[in-house]
A and B are shown apart, each in its own frame.
Chain A
Amino acid sequence: MQFNTFISSIPDLERCVNAPNLEEVLLEPILLARQGKLTENQIQTLAGEALKRELRPVLVWDILMPERVMNDVCERLKSWNLSQFAAIRVCDPGVAYWLKIHFPKMPIQLIVETGNHNLESLLGWCEIFSETLERLILSIELPEEKLIEYCQKLPVACELLGVGQILLFYSPRSLLWERQKEENNLYEFNPNSALYLETTAAFEDAPNRHFPTLETIHGTFMFLDKDQFILDKLDGLRSARLHTVRLDLRHLEKNGDVAVDIDNICRQILEDPATLRLNWFRETRAPFFKANRTTSVFSRMKSKVADYRNQNCLAEVLTGESGKYVVFQTFRPFEVSQIQSMIMPTGEEIKIPPEIAFRNLNGEQLKTFTSEQILVTNWIKKAVPGTLLLSNRK
């Protein structure tokens, strides 16, 4: 199991050289990366220096690519020397497909962190990009059990975020710049340099939780206020042959360096990860590592009578006036003799009074009914709107 991390300077590289098990560095250009701060020249220089130090330089191209951006970026990339990158890391499937066509020998690392929470989809990506796909970057919403299964079953290497910020929101829209410009005139926008505005956002009812939010030329991003941290829980994944653990320290940047202390961190992961967690710079969590229960409330949100809405469902209560009447709308033609029961929206069964009489709006009592007919009966206790009239029990 190896580590990788983002770098932005030669000192970052030097620390990476001294970091045990760290064999790969991630380079983020302004042009291609959501949080990119490096110019083309800086990227090329750092890639060259990484190669000299026997580190694999990986070009990060993780922005999503609307057609206009795709055309523009692909045109600009014609002048780039992509051959010195060991791989290109992409998120947009269209970019991966473009690379497959135009750079069929370039290894691809595909980010499948959003969605792609099932084996079938992951196998699908492996098949589509079989010739050049060297790695899948898996989602931290997957529980450990599934991550282990996927590492064992997928035909390519897998990577997972070991520590770093949890991205919550990615919008291409500029949501901070003009606001901050309006409010205090602090920022001057220069399209030729990296725009990088940072703020925090807190819910009105949770004012002490500050979610880091930033804007770059590629849009606005919001992160959780706590870091993902699974570095002390890697044994199972190591046994399952997880290939790479990403150590994302970009938010801990100091003086332009984004891999601050990476050498010591890598050492501590191997020697004493529990202490590393205890002393981590920010609060940590791994919300879905043990289990993902993000659909557990859904069953309570579903209708209790959905199973009754079938061919046995004759009519529905539209309204009623307590002690006076109930109004039904029929769903299908039926006869009064077919009526057997009523079920409330809560799932409770109601007894149908024996003396019940169904009348149309003219007051005529009916024994047979047509579809979508409005019927009025005498009052039926508990027959609230949404109550169903059934011909048979379920």
Chain B
Amino acid sequence: MWKPELLAPAKNLERLKVAIAYGADAIYLGGQNYGLRARADNFTDYELEQAVVFAHQHNAKIYVTLNAFLHDTDFVGLAEYCHFLESIGVDAVIVSDLGVIRAIRNSSNLNIHLSTQASCLNSYAGLLWKEMGVKRLIVGRELTIAEAGAIREKSGIEVEMFTHGAMCMAYSGHCTISNFTAGRDSNRGGCIQSCRLPYHLETEEKKSDDLVTFMSSRDLWGIYQIGEFFQHQICSLKIEGRMKSSFYVGLTCKVYRQLIDAYAAGTLNAEMLQVAARELQSVPNRDYFSGSLETPAGRDSVFGQLSGINTGTYEYLGLVVDTTPEEIVLRLVEPFALGEEIEIIPFEGEAIRGKVDRLFSATGESVEFMRQDSIARIPKFPAATKAGNIAKFNVVRFKSAVKEVTHAI
């Protein structure tokens, strides 16, 4: 049975490998220039070559973001970069700007996917972009799946949709708050996320000291619409988050991989969806909702959290960087103490839970506590020994302490 592609973000090579290990069919990532994430590590040319080789060895595709809205001076080196991307076998580039599309077409035969930043929202726009040589539309997040399906059908071009992750409240590409208030171009990688900030709202009739996050969107999830994506032949389901952790990337890939495969096999059921929801809630998030996937996002789409701290039932403890028959080697993201309960997330199957009763440093010294960013060696606890499927790039989590969250609405 036909399946949509599962497309995941990667900030660096580690995330790319994690995503593919947890089931991504394709990865999107940024190079050193021309993308929308100025602060991300982003891939050097050498790393891009490695990424393509690794992905293709694992039957995955690589899409490179060239989705900034460029000024004339930003075009320097673009043609050469396109030659390079083509030469290393990149599967497609993601572009927002008509000028960039024209420059790419003049210098290479790269496949072009239209970025959601271009806000392609209707089938006439689809026809236009198709005429411009675009092979795939990443449609605006304001569309329902049915609308995206209609665009695909009427314009005869493949359509990709964001399925999971953080959302812009504004039409993508139509927010310049950062440009005019902070002097940083949001459409060239400098967004300062002003939409997440609390504001005082005042009318002539009413002055108020209250703060509200009225422009902060809740996070998208599309787990309850998997069947619709199939029905409307949405070719690729995209997970947002090039800046996000391996925990987020690994877990979201695992969940959506399971749901896509189960739907294709005719085995998707309510219980699986419940488990999927619980798993996704373990990752930091801004209260999920279905976005506009079924109906246009309404009032309930605002995330009214003043503190700006994301919630999540679990925290990311670290990544497995090595294993032996006796122990697991973890790169810690958080501090860790003897006696804590951890959950290792295998690429397939249930989480492996256990209490850590022995802990060693990288040099094998027995310790009771390890600080953040350490390498910890953990002798396999009984469940881990029994499971036998713990592997490098598994993410490891532990239960969050309950956080007090201030809601403005």
Number of A-B contacts (CB under 8 A): 276
- A19 located at the interface, meaning its Cβ lies under 8 Å from any Cβ of chain B in the complex: no
Given contacts A65-B121, A68-B147, A97-B124, contact A295 B202 (CB under 8 A): no
- B310 located at the interface, meaning its Cβ lies under 8 Å from any Cβ of chain A in the complex: no
A178 proximity list for chain B (CB < 8 A): 299
A324 proximity list for chain B (CB < 8 A): 363
In this complex, what residue of B is CB-closest to A373? Answer: B322
- A281 located at the interface, meaning its Cβ lies under 8 Å from any Cβ of chain B in the complex: no
B147–A67 touching, CB < 8 Å: yes
Distance A171 CA – B216 CA, assembled complex (angstroms): 11
Given contacts A120-B102, A121-B97, contact A172 B206 (CB under 8 A): no
A203 proximity list for chain B (CB < 8 A): 181, 194, 197, 199
In this complex, what residue of A is CB-closest to B179? Answer: A294
B151–A67 touching, CB < 8 Å: yes
Distance A282 CA – B78 CA, assembled complex (angstroms): 42
- Chain A residues 109 to 126 lying within 8 A of chain B, measured CB to CB, are 114-125
A171–B121 touching, CB < 8 Å: no
In this complex, what residue of B is CB-closest to A94? Answer: B125
- A95 located at the interface, meaning its Cβ lies under 8 Å from any Cβ of chain B in the complex: yes
Q: Which residue, B322, B364, B375, has most C-beta atoms of chain A within 10 A?
A: B375
- A18 located at the interface, meaning its Cβ lies under 8 Å from any Cβ of chain B in the complex: no
- Chain A residues 285 to 303 lying within 8 A of chain B, measured CB to CB, are 287, 292-298, 301-303
Distance A293 CA – B190 CA, assembled complex (angstroms): 12
Distance A175 CA – B176 CA, assembled complex (angstroms): 18
- A92 located at the interface, meaning its Cβ lies under 8 Å from any Cβ of chain B in the complex: yes
In this complex, what residue of B is CB-closest to A309? Answer: B44
Given contacts A171-B215, A204-B211, contact A119 B72 (CB under 8 A): yes
Give the bracket for the number of chain B residues in contact with chain A: 35 or more
B98–A174 touching, CB < 8 Å: no
Distance A126 CA – B130 CA, assembled complex (angstroms): 17
The 8 A CB mask of A159-176 against B (1 = contact, 0 = none) is: 000000011111111111
A97–B127 touching, CB < 8 Å: yes
Given contacts A97-B124, A385-B373, contact A169 B170 (CB under 8 A): yes
In this complex, what residue of A is CB-closest to B41? Answer: A303
In this complex, what residue of B is CB-closest to A122? Answer: B99
Distance A321 CA – B32 CA, assembled complex (angstroms): 32
Of B175, B214, B364, the residue contacting A201 (CB under 8 A) is: B214
In this complex, what residue of B is CB-closest to A378? Answer: B363
Distance A96 CA – B45 CA, assembled complex (angstroms): 39
Interface pick from B137-145, B260-268, B336-344, B379-387: B137-145
Q: Nearest Cβ in chain B — how far from A345, in angstroms?
A: 11
The 8 A CB mask of A112-152 against B (1 = contact, 0 = none) is: 00111111111111001000000000000110001000000
In this complex, what residue of A is CB-closest to B199? Answer: A201
A294–B75 touching, CB < 8 Å: no
- Chain B residues 81 to 131 lying within 8 A of chain A, measured CB to CB, are 96-103, 117-129, 131
Given contacts A298-B190, A310-B46, contact A173 B173 (CB under 8 A): no
Q: Nearest Cβ in chain B — how far from A166, in angstroms?
A: 6
A174–B200 touching, CB < 8 Å: no
A120–B75 touching, CB < 8 Å: yes
Of A319, A321, A363, the residue contacting B364 (CB under 8 A) is: A363
B38–A301 touching, CB < 8 Å: yes
- A200 located at the interface, meaning its Cβ lies under 8 Å from any Cβ of chain B in the complex: yes
B331 proximity list for chain A (CB < 8 A): 318-319
B363–A376 touching, CB < 8 Å: yes
- B164 located at the interface, meaning its Cβ lies under 8 Å from any Cβ of chain A in the complex: no
A297–B190 touching, CB < 8 Å: yes
Distance A237 CA – B122 CA, assembled complex (angstroms): 35
B211–A98 touching, CB < 8 Å: no
Q: Which residue, B47, B100, B183, B409, has most C-beta atoms of chain A within 10 A?
A: B183
In this complex, what residue of A is CB-closest to B47? Answer: A309
B200 proximity list for chain A (CB < 8 A): 201-202, 204, 207
- A265 located at the interface, meaning its Cβ lies under 8 Å from any Cβ of chain B in the complex: no
Q: Nearest Cβ in chain B — how far from A78, in angstroms?
A: 16
Given contacts A171-B169, A210-B202, A318-B375, contact A327 B362 (CB under 8 A): yes
A204 proximity list for chain B (CB < 8 A): 197-200, 211
A297 proximity list for chain B (CB < 8 A): 183-184, 190
A146–B72 touching, CB < 8 Å: yes
B171 proximity list for chain A (CB < 8 A): 64, 170-172
Q: Nearest Cβ in chain B — how far from A291, in angstroms?
A: 11
Given contacts A168-B180, A179-B214, contact A70 B363 (CB under 8 A): no
A98 proximity list for chain B (CB < 8 A): 124
Distance A95 CA – B121 CA, assembled complex (angstroms): 10
B44–A120 touching, CB < 8 Å: no
- B321 located at the interface, meaning its Cβ lies under 8 Å from any Cβ of chain A in the complex: yes
A67 proximity list for chain B (CB < 8 A): 121-123, 143, 147-148, 150-151
The 8 A CB mask of B142-166 against A (1 = contact, 0 = none) is: 1110011011000000000000000
B98–A125 touching, CB < 8 Å: yes
Q: Nearest Cβ in chain B — how far from A360, in angstroms?
A: 9
The 8 A CB mask of B278-295 against A (1 = contact, 0 = none) is: 000000000000000000
Distance A329 CA – B331 CA, assembled complex (angstroms): 11
- B335 located at the interface, meaning its Cβ lies under 8 Å from any Cβ of chain A in the complex: no
B321–A183 touching, CB < 8 Å: no
Distance A101 CA – B98 CA, assembled complex (angstroms): 20
Distance A311 CA – B201 CA, assembled complex (angstroms): 54
- B298 located at the interface, meaning its Cβ lies under 8 Å from any Cβ of chain A in the complex: yes
A313 proximity list for chain B (CB < 8 A): 46
B188 proximity list for chain A (CB < 8 A): 294-295, 298
Q: Provide 19 A-B residue pairs closer than 8 Å at the C-beta atoms, listed in order of the A residue.
A: A64-B142, A67-B122, A67-B143, A92-B122, A94-B122, A114-B174, A117-B71, A118-B97, A168-B176, A169-B195, A174-B299, A184-B205, A199-B202, A203-B197, A204-B211, A287-B180, A292-B71, A295-B188, A306-B42
New A-B contacts (20) at CB < 8 Å, excluding given A166-B180, A220-B215, A325-B362: A66-B121, A94-B124, A94-B126, A94-B128, A114-B174, A115-B69, A169-B170, A169-B177, A171-B170, A175-B169, A176-B214, A179-B212, A184-B205, A200-B203, A201-B200, A309-B46, A318-B373, A319-B375, A374-B329, A376-B363
> Which A residues form the contact surface with B (CB < 8 A)?
64-70, 92-98, 101, 114-125, 128, 141-142, 146, 166-176, 178-180, 183-184, 186, 198-204, 207, 210, 213, 220, 222, 224, 287, 292-298, 301-303, 306-307, 309-311, 313, 318-319, 321, 324-325, 327, 329, 361, 363, 372, 374, 376, 385
Closest 9 A-B residue pairs measured CB to CB?
A: A94-B125, A121-B99, A120-B99, A294-B185, A115-B69, A94-B124, A67-B147, A121-B98, A310-B46
